[in-house]
Chains A and B, each alone.
Chain A
Amino acid sequence: MKSRLEILLIIALFILLQALLSNFVNFGPLVSIAVYPLLILTFPSKIPLYQKLILSFLLGLGVDYTGGYTMGINSGAAVILSFTQPLLIKLVVPHSELYKGSRAGLFELGIVRFAYYVVAGLMIHQASIELLENFASIFTFQSLLRFFLSIFVNSLIILLTEFGIFYKNRG
């Protein structure tokens, strides 16, 4: 019960953080800032998949509402990322049973594996956003530029956030 409340509180904090970044930091039309994928990627593996999906949906819905996005875009992308997260863990960490029950953070995976994990997750998330926004192929010059720039910027922000909030305060 306590851990559930903690998760809901963290979700609210991430929605707030995302709203602040979306509304007050302007990187131009070629970069869409998304810090909330960090929370989806680091959901503890002990949470059942369907609960992770519902929590991701609520998180995405909050981001849509507070960030002024079309309702449903971030929630749809968040659900796709959450659905593929267990597969990503298996790809990045072949013996994932070592981390059973825990969150897949910087401390648990190490910097290299965590960086791979975040970049792979952000690729899925950004591709989902582009597909849901345009309902068409993302392989146009502008879309590809936005795709790679967003992944680069968001990877840096997420790594810094993970290091600053979760890694340093661990223990």
Chain B
Amino acid sequence: MAVKKSVKPLLAGVLTFLILEVASLFLMANDSVVHKIRIEGAIAFIQEKLFNAHSGISYYFSLKDINEQLLKENTRLINQLSYYRTLAESHDTSMIVKQPDNDSSDFTYIPARIVGNSINHMHNYIIINRGSKAGVKEDMGVISPEGVIGVVRSVSENYAYVISLLNINQTVSAKIVSSGVYGPLTWDGRSAQYAVLSEIPQHIPITVGDSVVTSGLSSIFPPDIPLGSVRKSRIVMGSHHQIQVRLFQDFRRLYFVNVVVNSNKEELDKLTGEYEE
């Protein structure tokens, strides 16, 4: 006859073992500075491994969405290529020559991957896997194919801390495409899908569905980066519109971004600083 063995004593034993080992490590850390440093080092090593494993697993399961993003980006590039081919074939060189003089030629991009992202707080942030070693600096903009993501706040050698657009203290200068009128776009801390565009004069006609893009009136973001579309608006203080903008970017599905490098930023900031002083 088979003897049935209860699992409970073994579980109690394993649990007691773990508790007592942790207690021993705690005692060692309290009693000796050397052990404290070694234990903290070991904990940091384990945390890093777990974080990398978690990041790898999330990355694997998000490959479908990433493929969709890459497909969209690919489509956009094919369209752009097609546009330039058409221009070249029509021998209208004036427009091709004109392109390098455009503002956007001042901007280059550093591709990066998201390794940390918060969306459930009032002050959300993002961590990207590019830092000073890759040329990322403070106050650089971060964008994705679907819109503005945030602004770099601090940089380490291999990572950068980005203040997300979903942060109540973050403001982006935006304009409505149909009218060209611009104002500050901020997140109101409610839904991750919407932001608020304010200070648009009352006499400007607003249509639901109008596209909202970056104005280009700052040294951080190039112009015409898509942000979202007008969802609804209301008049406040009897003088201007307050517009709810549906963001194109879903911050819960964010994997790849580009850090915006403005080669003239220092010159522009210096000039602005001189006049502000």
Contacts and interface: CB of A to CB of B under 8 A. Distances in A.
Nearest to B12: A50
Interface stretch (B16-24, B84-92, B217-225, B260-268): B16-24
B39 A53 contact: no
B1 interface: no
Contacts of B32: 70
A73 B28 contact: yes
A79 B13 contact: no
A75 B10 contact: no
Contacts, number: 68
Given A49-B13, A73-B28, A80 B35 contact: no
Given A70-B35, A135-B38, A135-B39, A54 B20 contact: yes
A53 B16 contact: yes
A132 interface: yes
B20 A57 contact: yes
Contact of A49 (B10, B21, B30): B10
A80 to B, nearest CB: 7
B27 interface: yes
Interface in A40-99: 48-50, 53-54, 57, 60-61, 64, 70-73, 75-76, 79-80, 83
Given A70-B32, A71-B30, A57 B24 contact: yes
Contacts of B31: 70-72
Contact of A79 (B24, B30, B41): B24
Nearest to A53: B16
B24 A75 contact: yes
Given A60-B24, A72-B24, A72-B26, 10 more contacts: A48-B12, A50-B13, A72-B28, A72-B29, A75-B27, A76-B20, A76-B28, A83-B13, A83-B17, A134-B38
